[in-house]
């Protein structure tokens, strides 16, 4: 029996929208205001989503349960698998002392905390976003920053803020490629449009990042370094996206940005070295920041040994992200399991799609091609390079699994919640509320993308969810479909810092367990402010003559 989604079950869009928002509100209030543990807040949100889906949207109970179960499997692989293995690698490097050498080597480039943020959180994180995505950059950069002595809130929150500009082209362009493939956009045209929106924010975000950390005065003291970092990322981002394609945008831009900043620092250093590792103003985790330690110079061989695990990680993740490699690994082992009682038994309905369309629900156990597997293999290879015994490697892995057990449970519950809202249609109800805004649609359509990522944790999933609606609404309003398709992806990047799974990844990487609510409260303003700025920019592109030239 096929169940058709209904987007206004109460025949009153206002009431339907309010009820559709309840699961998300329950989870966010539980995290941000009631100080519930993350897995408890996620569980409460999931229960609310099940009740709304069954009793308001009339979704069959068994189907709702299977949708949640399907999402839980997705939470374990790929997201949970990435988190577990990046923390495993970090544990290995910390235990043998090489991580301390890595910290000293980064301090050797600059002892200034602000510039360390530019180099690690923004540029280095963008490389991992381009190569792997799906939580990898936040996991890596937050772990490095906490090791450098940043406070847990600073390491978590600033890694999330920095991981915005590259998200639309993350995982070798997967979000934009998926948008074009699923909804019939021209790939190069929509890629180019995203590449005309994000570069402005690629320059803005590094300034925003340092302002959030050190304040206006602290930001202005290093504005030349910030400008070099942002421009050297934004220019390649524009050129590659407009003239080559989406696959290598982030990787090329990140490498150019890192190289430009390191080269610039050979000729310029700030007059005042910023040594505080805590956020300016109120930082509830300031007492947990490690005190600054004197810089120690290490031998060349020690530096090479310290960087080797992270170089191995970069190589493995990059190779695993290449489409031919991924396809070959999937040909070896990637069994697909249609979810009985769910697969092709739900139909999306107009106006979200032109005609009733069945929703697939196939879980692919692509363990070999998963990014987390690349991280695991890089950790094992690195462990042998660091002269760990096989017994010690296994012992450390199980120790890490126990360490992140609650984080894995939280990710499973949050993905179950997000998947259930997708299959029940409650997230589409929220999207339609944005779509009914008339001439203000360019602004609110951008926020629709933000909402999609905040709910699903993925720019790719948001593009799948709302990309078709953006196209239909744009055509009805006489706007460029490519503009609004791109706006969905560009606006979505600002929702990445508040999506639940990213926050859990950050709290796990920094070992700041059960403080997900503190992280959410800190980053929420930054997320909504940057998303609103993106919405204003897209509105200018739609209606103001000089900006309209960018659309055509």
Residue 182 has pLDDT above 70, yes or no: no
Exposed/middle/buried for residue 409 (C-beta within 10 Å: 0-12, 13-18, 19+): buried
pLDDT band (50, 70, 90) for residue 144: confident
Which pair of structure tokens corresponds to residue 180? 């074009």
Percent over 70 (pLDDT), the chain? 98
The predicted model gives 313-320 an average pLDDT of 85
305 compared with 475, residue with greater pLDDT: 305
Q: How much helix, strand and coil, in percent to the nearest 5, is found in the chain?
A: 75, 5, 25
pTM value surpassing 0.85: no
The full 3-state SS of 357-386, as one line of letters, equals: EEECCEEECCCCCCHHHHHHHHHHHHHHHC
The DSSP-derived string for 29-90 is HHHHTS---HHHHHHHHHHHHHHHHHHTS---HHHHHHHHHHHHHHIIIIIIHHHHHHHHHH
Residue 99 has pLDDT above 80, yes or no: no
Lowest mean pLDDT among 119-123, 263-267, 353-357: 353-357
The full 3-state SS of 263-277, as one line of letters, equals: HHHCCCCCCCCCCCC
Residue 244 has pLDDT above 70, yes or no: yes
Lowest mean pLDDT among 40-44, 193-197, 212-216: 40-44
Q: How far apart are CA 258 and CA 127, in angstroms?
A: 9
Lowest mean pLDDT among 12-16, 181-185, 537-541: 181-185
Q: How far apart are CA 72 and CA 28, in angstroms?
A: 19
Give 134's Cβ-side CA count (13 Å radius): 27
| CA 381 from centre of chain | 27
Q: How far apart are CA 474 and CA 450, in angstroms?
A: 17
477 compared with 480, residue with greater pLDDT: 480
Task: Spell out the alpha helix ranges (H) of 110-186.
Answer: 113-117, 125-131, 136-147, 152-162, 170-183
Residue 295 has pLDDT above 70, yes or no: no
466 compared with 305, residue with greater pLDDT: 305
Which pair of structure tokens corresponds to residue 386? 């660091």
Per-residue pLDDT of 128-139, as tens digits, reads 888 777 677 898
Residue 175 has pLDDT above 80, yes or no: yes
293 compared with 298, residue with greater pLDDT: 298
506 compared with 184, residue with greater pLDDT: 506
Nearest to 425 by CA among 478, 469, 375: 469
Within 8 A by CB and 6+ apart from 235, the residues are: 199, 256
Residue 292 has pLDDT above 70, yes or no: no
The predicted model gives 530-548 an average pLDDT of 90
The predicted model gives 196-225 an average pLDDT of 96
Per-residue pLDDT of 403-420, as tens digits, reads 888 878 887 887 788 789
pLDDT band (50, 70, 90) for residue 10: very high
pLDDT band (50, 70, 90) for residue 291: low
292 compared with 155, residue with greater pLDDT: 155
Per-residue pLDDT of 326-339, as tens digits, reads 899 999 999 999 99
The CA–CA distances, whole Å, from 360 to 30, 345, 498, 549 equal: 32, 8, 27, 39
Match 């709290």 to its residue by tokens.
Answer: 507
pLDDT band (50, 70, 90) for residue 60: very high
317 compared with 79, residue with greater pLDDT: 317
Nearest to 256 by CA among 270, 282, 280, 238: 238
- Which of 77-86, 166-175, 389-398 has the highest mean predicted lDDT (pLDDT)? 389-398
The predicted model gives 258-277 an average pLDDT of 93
Predicted pLDDT at 165: 87
The CA–CA distances, whole Å, from 93 to 69, 232, 376 equal: 35, 31, 13
Q: How far apart are CA 320 and CA 333, in angstroms?
A: 14
In the beta sheet, which residues pair with residue 363?
337
Predicted pLDDT at 467: 82
């Amino acid at each position: 029996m096929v169940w058709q989604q209904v987007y206004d079950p109460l025949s009153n869009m206002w009431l339907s929208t309010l009820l559709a928002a309840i699961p998300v509100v329950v989870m966010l209030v539980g995290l941000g205001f009631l100080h519930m543990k993350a897995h408890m807040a996620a569980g409460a949100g999931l229960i609310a989503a099940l009740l709304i889906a069954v009793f308001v949207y009339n979704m069959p109970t068994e189907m709702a349960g299977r949708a949640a179960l399907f999402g839980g499997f997705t939470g374990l692989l790929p997201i949970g698998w990435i988190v577990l293995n990046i923390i495993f690698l970090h544990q290995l490097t910390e235990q043998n002392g090489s991580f301390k050498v890595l910290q000293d080597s980064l301090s050797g480039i600059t002892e200034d905390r602000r510039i360390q943020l530019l180099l690690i959180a923004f540029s280095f994180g963008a490389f991992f976003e381009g190569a792997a995505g799906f939580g990898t950059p936040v996991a890596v950069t937050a772990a490095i920053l906490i090791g450098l002595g940043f406070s847990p809130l600073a390491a978590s929150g600033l890694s999330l803020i920095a991981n915005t500009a590259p998200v639309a082209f993350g995982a070798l362009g997967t979000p934009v490629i998926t948008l074009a493939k699923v909804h019939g956009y021209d790939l190069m045209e929509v890629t180019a449009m995203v590449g005309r929106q994000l570069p402005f924010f690629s320059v803005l975000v590094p300034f925003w990042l340092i302002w959030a950390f050190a304040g206006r005065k602290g930001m202005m003291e290093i504005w030349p370094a910030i400008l070099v970092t942002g421009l050297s990322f934004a220019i390649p981002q524009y050129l590659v996206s407009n003239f080559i394609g989406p696959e290598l945008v982030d990787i090329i831009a990140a490498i150019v940005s890192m190289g430009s900043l390191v080269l610039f620092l050979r000729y310029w250093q700030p007059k005042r070295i910023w040594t505080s590792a805590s956020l300016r103003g109120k930082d509830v985790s300031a007492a947990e920041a490690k005190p600054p330690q004197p810089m120690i110079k290490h031998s060349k061989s020690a530096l090479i040994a310290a960087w080797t695990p992270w170089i191995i990680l970069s190589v493995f993740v990059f190779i695993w992200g290449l489409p031919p490699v991924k396809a070959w690994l999937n040909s070896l082992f990637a069994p697909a399991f249609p979810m009985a009682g769910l697969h092709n038994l739900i139909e999306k309905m107009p106006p979200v799609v032109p005609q009733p369309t069945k929703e697939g629900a196939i879980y692919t156990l692509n363990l070999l091609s998963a990014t987390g597997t690349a991280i695991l293999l890089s950790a094992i290879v690195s462990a042998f390079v660091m002269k760990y015994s096989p017994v010690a490697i296994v012992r450390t892995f199980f120790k890490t699994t126990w360490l992140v057990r609650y984080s894995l449970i939280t990710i499973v519950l949050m993905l179950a919640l997000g998947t259930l809202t997708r299959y029940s249609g409650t997230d589409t109800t929220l999207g339609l509320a944005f779509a009914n805004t008339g001439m203000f649609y360019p602004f609110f359509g951008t926020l629709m993308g933000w909402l999609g990522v905040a709910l699903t944790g993925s720019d790719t999933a948001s593009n799948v969810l709302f990309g078709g609606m953006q196209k239909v609404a744009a055509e009805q309003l006489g706007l460029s479909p490519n503009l609004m398709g791109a706006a969905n992806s560009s606006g979505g990047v600002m929702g990445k810092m508040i999506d639940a799974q990213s926050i859990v990844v950050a709290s796990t990487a920094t070992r700041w367990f059960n403080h997900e609510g503190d992280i959410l409260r800190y980053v929420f303003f930054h997320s909504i402010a940057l998303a609103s700025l993106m919405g204003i920019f897209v509105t200018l592109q739609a209606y103001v003559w000089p900006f309209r030239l960018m659309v055509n």
